[in-house]
């Protein structure tokens, strides 16, 4: 959210590619980065290999991408963090 960027004295360019860095954690199999504004939710999804298909998760919100790198954008009213977490749990 904009308030998070303000509070940390950063901007969107500082978080570009952050989702990929999460996969550097030793035990990480998947990663998600959610960016919310009042008008839009943008979600980036990554996995370490094709065993964890991120594009099938992204399709639930009309998104797409590759098996290991996918994402989607939607209106905030169409997004549920709980639903995303549940789908990611099913993939893992």
The average pLDDT across 11-30 equals 88
Closest CA to 89 of 22, 33, 42, 30: 30
What CATH code is assigned to 2-91?
3.10.310.30
* Residue 22 or 72, more confident: 72
Model confidence pLDDT, tens digit, residues 65-82? 999 999 999 999 999 999
CB 75 within 8 A of CB 41: yes
Closest CA to 85 of 45, 26, 40: 45
Domain ranges of the chain: 2-91
Per-residue exposure over 7-45, b if at least 16 CB sit within 10 Å of its own CB, e if not = eeeeeeeebeeebeeeeeeeeeebbbbebeeeeebbbbb
Model confidence pLDDT, tens digit, residues 31-65? 999 999 899 999 999 999 999 999 999 999 999 99
């Amino acid at each position: 959210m904009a308030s998070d960027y303000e509070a940390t004295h950063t901007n969107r360019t500082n978080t570009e590619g952050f989702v990929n860095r999460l996969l550097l954690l030793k035990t990480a199999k998947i990663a998600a980065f959610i960016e919310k504004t009042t008008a839009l939710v943008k979600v980036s999804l990554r996995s370490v290999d094709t065993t964890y298909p991120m594009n099938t998760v992204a399709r639930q919100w009309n998104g797409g991408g590759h098996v290991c790198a996918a994402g989607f954008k939607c209106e905030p009213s169409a997004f549920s963090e709980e639903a995303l977490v549940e789908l990611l749990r099913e993939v893992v």
